[in-house]
């Protein structure tokens, strides 16, 4: 294994978010705005979201949110009723202050910013809601299967094992078609199949027969916008 490359990927994973099997969570004590209590998305002014607003292009935009946006831009675009300030889990017990857009809905966005304590410039956005409408320009969304990811990438890729803080993170797209500014976390639909072979901080190929038997799918993805 190329440990230098692997450690670099893990550092990237730590800064963007934890995965579903780690300490990924948000606190229940927002300091700004109000959370939505239903499962629908209601932008400011009660105007329905257009279908093209769910398009994600890594490095450029997530819907109407553009690279270079600040927290003020987000509040202006979506309204305070659809934005909430909170602590966002980073893994290994670490958290960082960020914003939730459409909180507590399937289309929730977790937004982290450059630096500490200021919302001057977006760093990345995490999407993890089951049934989310967000989809990348090459068709990746929550629930995309391992097989479909391989097809989209044009070749097999590497991912980390499970049952630790960075479980299932894609570590190397192997110079495939998927943008490097898209961080993907996988989860198994067949938990029994990951034991004992797909466990721990090791790398595995998407061609691994155990990975196929585990029915891996996209649990969450993080879009870099810097």
Does residue 33 lie within any of the structural domains?
no
For residues 168 and 146, is the Cβ–Cβ distance under 8 A?
Answer: no
Q: Are 103 and 186 within one domain?
A: no
- List pLDDT tens digits, range 145-188: 999 999 999 999 999 999 998 999 999 999 999 999 999 999 99
Terminal C-alpha separation, the chain: 29
User: 177 and 158, same structural domain?
Assistant: yes
Distance CA 24, CA 9 (A): 18
- Same domain for 48 and 130, yes or no, is yes
**Whether residues 186 and 126 fall in one domain:** no
> Are 130 and 165 in the same domain?
no
Q: How many Å apart are CA 134 and CA 62, to the nearest integer? A: 8
Residues 115, 88 share a domain: yes
Contact present, 83 and 100 (Cβ < 8 Å): yes
Same domain, 79 and 160: no
DSSP state of 80: G
Of the residues 104, 135, 166, the one at which a domain ends: 135
Helix ranges restricted to H, 17-165: 71-78, 146-153
Structure tokens belonging to residue 93: 């017990």
Structural domain harbouring 193 = 3-16+140-221
Q: For residue range 18-63, what is the model confidence (pLDDT) as tens digits? A: 333 333 334 333 333 333 333 334 444 445 455 558 999 999 999 9
């Amino acid at each position: 294994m190329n440990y230098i490359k692997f450690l670099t990927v893990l550092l990237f994973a730590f800064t963007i978010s934890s995965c579903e099997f780690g300490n990924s969570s948000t606190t229940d004590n927002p300091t700004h705005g109000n959370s939505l209590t239903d499962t629908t998305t209601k932008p400011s002014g009660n105007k329905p979201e257009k279908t093209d607003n769910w398009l994600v292009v890594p490095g450029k935009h997530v819907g109407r949110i553009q690279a270079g946006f600040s927290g003020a831009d987000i509040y202006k675009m979506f309204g305070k009723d659809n934005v909430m300030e909170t602590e966002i889990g980073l893994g290994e017990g670490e958290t960082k202050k960020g914003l939730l857009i459409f909180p507590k809905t399937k289309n929730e966005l977790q937004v982290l910013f450059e630096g500490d304590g200021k919302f001057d410039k977006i760093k990345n956005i995490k999407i993890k809601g089951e049934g989310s409408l967000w989809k990348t320009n090459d068709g990746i969304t929550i629930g995309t299967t391992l097989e479909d990811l391989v097809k989209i990438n044009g070749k097999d890729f590497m991912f980390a094992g499970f049952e630790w803080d960075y479980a299932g993170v894609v570590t190397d797209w192997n110079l495939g078609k998927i943008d490097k500014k898209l961080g993907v976390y996988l989860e198994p639909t067949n938990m029994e199949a990951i034991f004992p072979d797909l466990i721990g901080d090791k790398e595995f190929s998407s061609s691994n027969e155990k990975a196929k038997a585990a029915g891996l799918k996209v649990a969450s993805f993080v879009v870099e916008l810097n």
